[in-house]
Every structure is written in C-alpha cells, then in structure tokens.
Amino acid sequence: DQQVKQNSPSLSVQEGRISILNCDYTNSMFDYFLWYKKYPAEGPTFLISISSIKDKNEDGRFTVFLNKSAKHLSLHIVPSQPGDSAVYFCAASADNAGNMLTFGGGTRLMVKP
C-alpha cells in the first residue's frame, strides 16, 4: 500500500519553462512534506519542505504547494534549467519533525535545452 504516490514516472520540459511535479498521499496523519532531488549514482539531496500549517513555501526557483483537503502537493520549478534534470522524490512524515520519511516513487525530470 503506497502511502505516497508520484503518478508520473517521467516529465519532459523545455528549458526556461515551468516544471510541475506532483505528489499524492493517503495518510491523513502526514504533516510534513519534503522534496528531494537525486542524480544517478548519488544520494538524494534535500530541496525544499513544507509543514501542514502552510500551503505554500518558496525558495528561489522552487515552490512547493500543499493542498491538504486533496492530499496533494506539487513542486514548481521556474524557470527550468538543464541542470535540474534528475529524479525528484517527494516524502512525507507524520511527526512534524521529518523523521521516518515515507517516499514516493520518484519522477524523472528531463529539461531540454
């Protein structure tokens, strides 16, 4: 039973345009969400997070939106750059401290020059 789902395994975007990566979850106890970026043969690196008390968090080109009623979050990257090409994982936690993360399956983003 996947509690965190990323239904799009891959996404292709033109450089300079917006990339939107989506994530859905089923566990209503989740109250903290994170996005990670992973290059091949490297460990994931933390990108941005959001607590359930907020519906938006912004950091430079990255913005995460949270819709609690829909149990849905999304990561927007604007403008997309070729260096953004990687696998993006969303993760969720139920203790508001980021412990014991449950990961989605990942979405491979390809930004074309």
Binding site for another protein (CB under 8 A): 32, 34, 36, 41-46, 49, 51, 89, 91, 97-101, 103-106
Length reported for the chain: 113
CB of 98 to another protein, least distance (A): 5
Give dist(CA 68, CA 111) in Å, integer. 29
Nearest to 47 by CA among 91, 7, 12, 3: 91
Nearer to another protein (CB atom), residue 30 or residue 32: 32
Q: How far is the CB of 109 from another protein (least distance, A)?
A: 15
Find the shortest distance in angstroms from Cβ 95 to another protein: 10
Residue placing its CB nearer to another protein in the complex, 48 or 79: 48
CB of 79 to another protein, least distance (A): 25
CB-based contacts of 58, cutoff 8 Å, min separation 6: 64
Q: What is 43-64 written as a DSSP string?
A: --EEEEEEETT-SEEEETTEEE
Pick 32 or 84: Cβ nearer another protein: 32
d(CA 3, CA 79): 30
Residue with smaller CB distance to another protein, 70 or 97:
97
